[in-house]
Amino acid sequence: MSRPVVGIIGNSYLIDGEYPTYAAGKMNADAVGCICGAIPLIIPTDPALVNTAELMEVCDGFLFTGGRPNVHPEEYGEAETEAHGAFDRDRDAVALPLIRACVDAGQPIIGICRGFQEVAVAMESTLHPEIRDLDGRDNHRMPPDGTLAEKFALRHKVRFVAGGPFEKIVGSQEVMTNSLHGQGIKVAGPRIVIDGYAPDGTPEAIYVKDAKGFTLSTQWHPEWNAAGDPVSRPIFEAFGAACAAFQKGRKSA
């Protein structure tokens, strides 16, 4: 049997400030190919080029990546402010309906950083535009200086709900993670289950209640050092197993 295909949601970039591209980090593709055992396929996030039904037919699962632009607040019923930062409405238009359709179909998804926020918003959650401005919250943003390894270094604990899916997969109720995000969940939608928190109360791990497929998502970046990190590796292994099972079930049907 051929390997399952995992669609990696790309971001829009300008190379040298002028050449437009769709791209995703090599560490995302490495995690999918080496840990999940799947074929990584980068998805251009333009609704003029792709649609939900075609993507779900081609791919067995989807990784919703991090990215600098934020989900537009109109997607959760709020007005745009300067604190919300930059946006990518084309990615919103591709990612949000795709998440909803995958949840309905039981097709595996995993959200990372912005992808975590996309899963939350697709399931009717709202977001804080800048959690470091909230009383009692820490600054979860990427350090502005240092090497890539220093920016992705472990920075705070995440405590999972006892007996929840993250604790079962990782094998521990408390872990250390990196932290490179500015936004966070304000009010969780009715189907979003928060399964892990940072020490300051910021939601860091979620899944979709009563979903038929894999929906675990993280506010941190488990794709960094996925092969060697004892927290990241089992998450990607579980996601890969879910994609393989979905592929097998689809072929059997």
Average pLDDT over residues 218-225: 96
Query: What pLDDT is recorded for position 65?
Result: 97
Q: Which residue type does 96 have?
A: L
CB-count exposure of residue 130 (10 Å: 0-12, 13-18, 19+): buried
Domains of the chain (ranges; CATH) run 5-252 (3.40.50.880)
Rounded CA separation 169/235 (Å): 7
Please determine, for residue 84, whether its predicted confidence score (pLDDT) is greater than 90.
Answer: no
| 77 three-class SS | coil
Please determine, for residue 140, whether its predicted confidence score (pLDDT) is greater than 80.
Answer: no
Q: How much is the CA Rg of the chain, to the nearest whole Å? A: 17
pLDDT in tens, 197-217: 999 999 999 999 999 999 999
Q: What is the pTM of this model?
A: 0.95
Q: Are 69 and 86 in contact (CB under 8 A)?
A: yes
Q: Which residue type does 14 have?
A: L
Query: What pLDDT is recorded for position 129?
Result: 86
Please determine, for residue 136, whether its predicted confidence score (pLDDT) is greater than 90.
Answer: no
CB atoms within 10 A of CB 128: 18
pLDDT in tens, 118-130: 999 999 999 998 8
Average pLDDT over residues 12-21: 90
Query: What pLDDT is recorded for position 1?
Result: 62
Report percent pLDDT > 70 for the chain: 100
| 122 three-class SS | helix
Rounded CA separation 28/66 (Å): 10
Q: With bands split at pLDDT 50, 70 and 90, how would you rate the model's confidence at 24?
A: very high
Query: What pLDDT is recorded for position 219?
Result: 95
Q: With bands split at pLDDT 50, 70 and 90, how would you rate the model's confidence at 163?
A: very high
Q: With bands split at pLDDT 50, 70 and 90, how would you rate the model's confidence at 92?
A: very high
